[in-house]
A and B are shown apart, each in its own frame.
Chain A
């Protein structure tokens, strides 16, 4: 999809998510809160896809950035009285970047299971810090009293979540543009090279470690922004933005959609959160069973995620020789 032979122009199916989002805005006004949550998790999943799907960095601690971003925005407002949403976003982005650089520089010297454990440790530590520093973070009770000024000084966050939805959609759109650009760039091609064969990247002279630290920092920045969005939309921060559970949930969403492809990060969170919402209403006690069943079906029958199935269906209708023919 990316790389030196890929056409970087935006194709029509790539507009579908935005059309669907705008249609949902007009047609499903009672679901805008869920919609905003989905948009936030898509941005969060995009940041994970960049390091996991493209860079091949496995992590169970991506919530560290999300949670740090969420608390940064929350503390700025509730404790320091900084209610400007743009300032909160920028601060959360900077916090995510700083954490990405600081932790990435240490843990990216390791790989595989060691790396996985270290990512998990970092988010677990942050969770414990947030839990204990209750004077700043609200601890287990959560941080309430978050206020957000009107966007651009004009658009107030309304009771129906219309502003919040469009705001999240705009930020996601910008995040998508950035991630998409990186993926189609030489850097993106180089990242897939690291994922495919790290030893070979060393042998062709790539400073693999620094390249990974950089992409980890970028990913942390984006995840930090996603976390800040959640705080602004909910006007509350709970401990559940940190720790293993939300990291694992995010990973499940990405696998569900399809790892290593931009739109896997769109489809996964949407399907997961809609299914969760539906199942929680229909079967309040057993809804996790439904999620589990969904995941088993996808992993068993479509290792490439939901988009993997779509691919197979499309290629079924396409003439078999097309892949070869395009070479000439």
Chain B
């Protein structure tokens, strides 16, 4: 089985600033893989390159063994790549149901149809409703997303990505900005995600990382410092120096 997602010598520079330096990365089927690193390590840039939102300066990206380095974001999504955003990126003035239905409609290929009313697409509405129910958001289906509390908005962030039924899911700090008592809810949601989805999670919260991830890659200044099982990473002296510092994990 080839890796579901793989990069080969992926590089990105903005002028003299190198934010990705020959990153070789591999994601296995069904992976629960975390990407950690200090601020400015280039984690989000890496995700943006994987998605196709930013073009790499050099290197290759393989999705399911196929070179996708040059294809558009929408084409990558069609091939099973989904993402969430670190800074909540929703359709704020639309009802919660529509937020998810837009993604479901894109996946099912009905998003461009112009003739029948959107509300007559019962299969899309039903699938979206069921998806919201699995995340405990069914009661809010008709509420405008902007009117939801922030913790729930973070769940919507995940719900939209799940509407794409991705094979590979990139979670960019799913618990960013969420008060610690609500982090548990998001973590619970992440743990319940279907095991066949390969997940790459970027996270600052080490509790989340060590509970969720079975494999960890440490990125520092655009370079892979180390990749290994959580115990190895927690034990590694260099990781402590550059990143974990005073957090005292292990």
Interface residues of A (CB under 8 A from B): 2-8, 181-182, 184-190, 192-193, 196-197, 199-208, 211, 214, 323-324, 326-328
Q: Return B54 CB to nearest CB of chain A, in Å.
A: 12
* A206-B106 in contact (CB<8A): yes
B213 at the interface (CB under 8 A from A): no
Given A6-B117, A203-B73: 4 more A-B contacts, CB < 8 Å: A6-B118, A197-B90, A203-B51, A206-B106
Max chain B Cβ within 10 angstroms of own Cβ: one of A7, A8, A187, A205 = A205
What A residues does B94 contact at CB under 8 A? 3, 189, 192-193, 196
What B residues does A7 contact at CB under 8 A? 119
* B114-A3 in contact (CB<8A): no
Q: A186-B113, A196-B94, A324-B143 known; A202 and B53 CB under 8 Å?
A: yes
Q: A204-B102, A328-B139 known; A185 and B115 CB under 8 Å?
A: yes
A204–B240 alpha-carbon span in the complex (Å): 37
* A205-B110 in contact (CB<8A): no
Task: Give the residue of A6, A196, A206 whose beta carbon is less than 8 angstroms from that of B92.
Answer: A196
Q: Which residue of A lies closest to B107 (CB)?
A: A205
Q: A203-B73, A324-B143 known; A4 and B51 CB under 8 Å?
A: no
Q: List 9 A-B contacts (CB under 8 A).
A: A4-B124, A189-B98, A192-B93, A203-B85, A204-B164, A214-B112, A323-B143, A327-B139, A327-B141
B74 at the interface (CB under 8 A from A): yes
Task: Give the residue of A4, A203, A207, A324 whose beta carbon is less than 8 angstroms from that of B119.
Answer: A4
Chain A binding surface SS class: helix
B163 at the interface (CB under 8 A from A): yes
Max chain A Cβ within 10 angstroms of own Cβ: one of B112, B141, B164 = B112
Q: Return B125 CB to nearest CB of chain A, in Å.
A: 6
A200–B73 alpha-carbon span in the complex (Å): 11
What A residues does B121 contact at CB under 8 A? 4, 186
Q: Return A314 CB to nearest CB of chain B, in Å.
A: 17
A197–B153 alpha-carbon span in the complex (Å): 15
* B112-A211 in contact (CB<8A): yes
A142–B156 alpha-carbon span in the complex (Å): 56
A160–B118 alpha-carbon span in the complex (Å): 43
* A8-B74 in contact (CB<8A): no
What A residues does B102 contact at CB under 8 A? 189-190, 193, 201, 204, 206
Using a Cβ cutoff of 8 Å, how many contacts connect chains A and B?
145
* B74-A4 in contact (CB<8A): no
What A residues does B143 contact at CB under 8 A? 323-324, 327
Task: Give the residue of A4, A197, A208, A214 whose beta carbon is less than 8 angstroms from that of B118.
Answer: A4
B83 at the interface (CB under 8 A from A): yes
Q: Return A65 CB to nearest CB of chain B, in Å.
A: 19
* B91-A200 in contact (CB<8A): yes
B78 at the interface (CB under 8 A from A): yes
Q: Return B48 CB to nearest CB of chain A, in Å.
A: 10
Q: Which residue of A lies closest to B116 (CB)?
A: A185
Task: Give the residue of B95, B106, B141 whose beta carbon is less than 8 angstroms from that of A205.
Answer: B106
* A-contact bits for B59-85, CB 8 A (1 contact / 0 none): 000000000000011101110001101
Q: Which residue of B lies closest to A7 (CB)?
A: B119
What A residues does B120 contact at CB under 8 A? 8
A2–B89 alpha-carbon span in the complex (Å): 21
B105 at the interface (CB under 8 A from A): yes
Task: Give the residue of B74, B82, B98, B110 whose beta carbon is less than 8 angstroms from that of A206.
Answer: B74
Max chain B Cβ within 10 angstroms of own Cβ: one of A7, A181, A197, A211 = A197
Max chain A Cβ within 10 angstroms of own Cβ: one of B118, B140, B161 = B118
A181–B142 alpha-carbon span in the complex (Å): 22
* B113-A4 in contact (CB<8A): no
What B residues does A327 contact at CB under 8 A? 139-143
* A186-B118 in contact (CB<8A): yes
What B residues does A324 contact at CB under 8 A? 143
What B residues does A206 contact at CB under 8 A? 74, 102, 106, 111
Task: Give the residue of B76, B77, B125, B140 whose beta carbon is less than 8 angstroms from that of A4.
Answer: B125
Q: Which residue of B lies closest to A189 (CB)?
A: B118
Q: Return B9 CB to nearest CB of chain A, in Å.
A: 25
A193–B125 alpha-carbon span in the complex (Å): 16
Task: Give the residue of A187, A202, A203, A323 whose beta carbon is less than 8 angstroms from that of B111.
Answer: A187
* B92-A190 in contact (CB<8A): no
Task: Give the residue of B76, B117, B128, B142 whose beta carbon is less than 8 angstroms from that of A326.
Answer: B142
Q: Which residue of A lies closest to B77 (CB)?
A: A205
Q: A205-B78, A206-B106, A327-B141 known; A4 and B115 CB under 8 Å?
A: no
Q: Which residue of B lies closest to A185 (CB)?
A: B114
Q: A4-B125, A5-B141, A200-B90 known; A186 and B51 CB under 8 Å?
A: no
